[in-house]
Every structure is written in C-alpha cells, then in structure tokens.
C-alpha cells in the first residue's frame, strides 16, 4: 500500500524566527494590525510504500529523526493518508 | 603532518585551505572527494566552507551522509584533529560530532566581512600559539551562523571552557553590537569534550598571509602542527 505523509516542520517554540518576525513587521506596516504572530516553517509530502498505516508512520518518523528534521531546532506534525 | 581537505559537491573554500596548508604551512595536503571512504593515511581532516549540496534541506544535513563521513567520524573518535570551518562547522553539528545547530542569521542577511573574535581558550590543539583573550580580525561569510543550543548544553560548553572563540569588538569586549548573527553568548567556535574536533564560523584560511590583508588565522594551523609534532 502507498501512503502520503504530510509533514509540517516548524522551528521549536524556544527558537526565534527572524523570518517570521520580518513578515510580521511587514504585515503591520500594511496596517494589518490584528496580526499577532507569524512563524515560518516547511511543508513536505513524502510518499512511502508500506504494509499498513502504522508501518508507514513508523517509517516516516524514522526519516524525520534521521534526515528530514533536526530535533535540536525543529518540531513536526505528521498526517498520513492512503493514496 | 598530512592533511586531508574534504571536497563535497558545493564546497567552495577547499582551495584556500589547501593553499594555506601547502604554501604557507608547507605541509602535505590532499583534496579528498566526498565519495572516498578512507582517511587512514591522514593526520588531520578539514571540512571546508561552502554550500555542500546547495544547503538543501538544512546546511550540512545532506553532506553528513556522504560516504566519507564514516571515515571522518572514525578519525574524530580516534582522537585525531577534525576542523570544520563555516559549512564544515554546520556539517559537524548535523552529524553530532559537535552539539547545537547553526540557525539563520538574526538579520536574515548573508554577512561577508571582517569581524573580531577573542580567543577564549588557548589550551587547545588549535589555539596553543595564541594568547588567552587575544583578539583576531578574521573574515566571516555566512547566512546561517547563529549558534544555538539548549540552555544545558550552553552551560556545559561554558563551564568546560569549550567556547574557543567569541565575537567581540576591537578591544575584545563581547558586546551585542559585535555579534554579527545573533549567536548565543557571541559564540563563534566550539570544541568537543575530547578537544580534537573544532567547529568555527569565521575563516582562518582566508587570513593567513600578510599579502591578503592579515595573518591572524595562521597561528591556528601552526598550533595544529606544533601539537602534532610534540606528540611524535
């Protein structure tokens, strides 16, 4: 079976996001005064072949641990759908 | 002292490193392609600056899985010198030989200019020919040099004297204004617990000859050589 993993990778809350701050400033200068905060991250779609959903999730979490994210600075959320 | 300079696809400071080792330090040096797997003939390994794998995913994240990296890690675990400069430092943090990570500069800008750093620890194999608190003028050239680690790691680095270089002003004061990238505690370079793996964002190889505007970086390579000779 094929599964598509959608990964939202964000900087950990303790880490400043200068890119997000710059975008926030820009929005404020456009008079969007209600905007409180902007954090910028990455989005990835990874398609894997696996026996079932739990095997697919295990594999993708492995990929995240080894290469796709750096746990020192990043967190991620994972959504899995069958394709 | 036989040096290896590792060439990754996208490295761009390897020629400067080779030049300094060969022409200024006058020691044997070989450029080693990242697909090679053997470093057994070398006494020291340098991971040069540049943009390995185009900085894709994260700086150094893909280079750390290059075939040569197993040999680099084995070389480090054997207690032999591994020096990571700029992108080399980023690779060393990604592969876990050094703690922490290099984040995007706080200014979001790529900064290429001379800066001052202070020698915090001159009891290492890389800094023995400097004096403690010596101020060096040295080029930096990076967009991701903002050193970050969790508070426990920073506390350990400081307590164990493993912050080797700190950004400072011309008088040697590590002020917020002299910090080019937002690095915690103005950290510019750190060393591992065993004292043989050094990572630094500034480029000593770019300032090792007076004709190029200064030679504040040369004593780093001379210190490595002196330590190695003393061990023979």
Q: Do B118 and B165 form a contact (C-beta atoms < 8 A)?
A: yes
Annotate B35-95 with DSSP letters as a single string.
T----TT-SEEEE--B-GGGG-SSTTTTGGGSTTHHHHHHHHHTT--EEEETHHHHHHHHT
Question: pLDDT per residue over B119-174, tens digit each?
Answer: 999 999 999 999 999 999 999 999 999 999 999 999 999 999 999 999 999 999 99
Q: Do A52 and A3 form a contact (C-beta atoms < 8 A)?
A: no
Percentage of residues in chain B having pLDDT higher than 70: 100
Global pTM? 0.94
Confirm or reject contact between B61 and chain A (CB < 8 A). Answer: yes
Flag whether pLDDT at A61 surpasses 90: yes
State the number of CA atoms in the 13 A half-sphere of B27 facing the CB.
21
Residue of B nearest to A42 (CA): B57
Residue A58's contacts (CB-CB under 8 Å, 6 or more residues apart) are none
What pLDDT does B180 receive? Answer: 98
Residue B231's contacts (CB-CB under 8 Å, 6 or more residues apart) are none
B75 is catalytic: no
Flag whether pLDDT at B188 surpasses 90: yes
Flag whether pLDDT at B81 surpasses 90: yes
DSSP reduced 3-state for B213:
coil
What mean pLDDT is predicted for residues A51-58?
97
Please tell me the distance from the alpha carbon of residue B197 to that of residue B127, in angstroms, as a whole number.
12
**Record: contact B57-A22, CB cut-off 8 A:** no
From chain A, the residues in CB contact with B107 under 8 A are 18
What pLDDT does B155 receive? Answer: 98
Percentage of residues in chain B having pLDDT higher than 90: 99
**Record: contact B108-A70, CB cut-off 8 A:** no
What pLDDT does A68 receive? Answer: 97
Give B106 to chain A, closest Cα distance, Å. Answer: 6
Please tell me the distance from the alpha carbon of residue B229 to that of residue B232, in angstroms, as a whole number.
5
Question: pLDDT per residue over B155-169, tens digit each?
Answer: 999 999 999 999 999
What mean pLDDT is predicted for residues B27-43?
98
Of residues B86, B120, B144, B168, which has the active-site annotation?
B86
Question: pLDDT per residue over A30-50, tens digit each?
Answer: 999 999 999 999 999 999 999
What mean pLDDT is predicted for residues B70-78?
98
Percentage of residues in chain A having pLDDT higher than 70: 100
> Which neighbouring-strand residues pair with A7?
A44, A78
Widest Cα–Cα separation across chain A: 51
Confirm or reject contact between B109 and chain A (CB < 8 A). Answer: no
Cα dist. B84→A54, A60, A66, A77 in Å? 40, 30, 21, 32
B142 is catalytic: no
What pLDDT does B123 receive? Answer: 97
ipTM of the complex: 0.86
What pLDDT does B232 receive? Answer: 80
Cα dist. B35→B29, B68, B84, B101 in Å? 18, 6, 18, 25
Question: pLDDT per residue over A7-34, tens digit each?
Answer: 999 999 999 899 999 999 999 999 999 9
Please tell me the distance from the alpha carbon of residue B146 to that of residue B183, in angstroms, as a whole number.
4
């Amino acid at each position: 079976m094929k599964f598509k993993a959608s990964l939202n990778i964000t900087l950990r809350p303790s880490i400043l996001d200068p890119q997000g701050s710059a975008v926030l400033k820009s929005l404020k200068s456009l008079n969007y005064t209600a905007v409180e905060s902007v954090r910028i991250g990455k989005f990835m779609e990874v398609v894997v072949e696996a026996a079932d959903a739990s095997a697919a999730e295990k594999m993708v979490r492995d990929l995240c641990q080894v290469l796709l994210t750096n746990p020192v600075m990043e967190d991620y959320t994972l959504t899995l759908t069958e394709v | 002292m036989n040096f290896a300079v590792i060439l990754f696809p996208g490295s761009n400071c390897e020629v400067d490193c080779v030049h300094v080792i060969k022409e200024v330090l006058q020691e044997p040096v070989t450029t080693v392609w990242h697909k090679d797997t053997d470093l057994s003939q070398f006494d020291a390994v340098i991971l040069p600056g540049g943009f390995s794998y185009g900085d894709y995913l994260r700086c150094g994240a893909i280079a750390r899985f290059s075939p040569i990296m197993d040999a680099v890690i084995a070389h480090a675990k054997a207690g032999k010198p591994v020096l990571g400069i700029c992108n080399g430092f980023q690779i060393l943090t990604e592969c876990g030989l050094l703690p922490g990570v290099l984040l995007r500069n706080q200014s979001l800008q790529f900064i290429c200019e001379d800066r001052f750093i202070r020698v915090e620890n001159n009891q290492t194999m890389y800094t023995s020919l400097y004096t403690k608190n010596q101020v060096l003028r040295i080029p930096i050239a990076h967009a991701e040099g903002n050193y970050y680690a969790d508070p426990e790691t920073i506390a350990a680095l400081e307590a164990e004297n493993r912050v080797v270089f700190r950004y400072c002003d011309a008088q040697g004061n590590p002020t917020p204004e002299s910090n080019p990238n937002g690095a915690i505690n103005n950290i510019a370079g750190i060393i591992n617990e065993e004292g043989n793996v050094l990572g630094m964002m500034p480029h000593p190889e770019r300032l090792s000859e007076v004709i190029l505007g200064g030679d504040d970086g040369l004593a780093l390579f001379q210190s490595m050589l002196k330590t190695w000779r003393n061990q023979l």
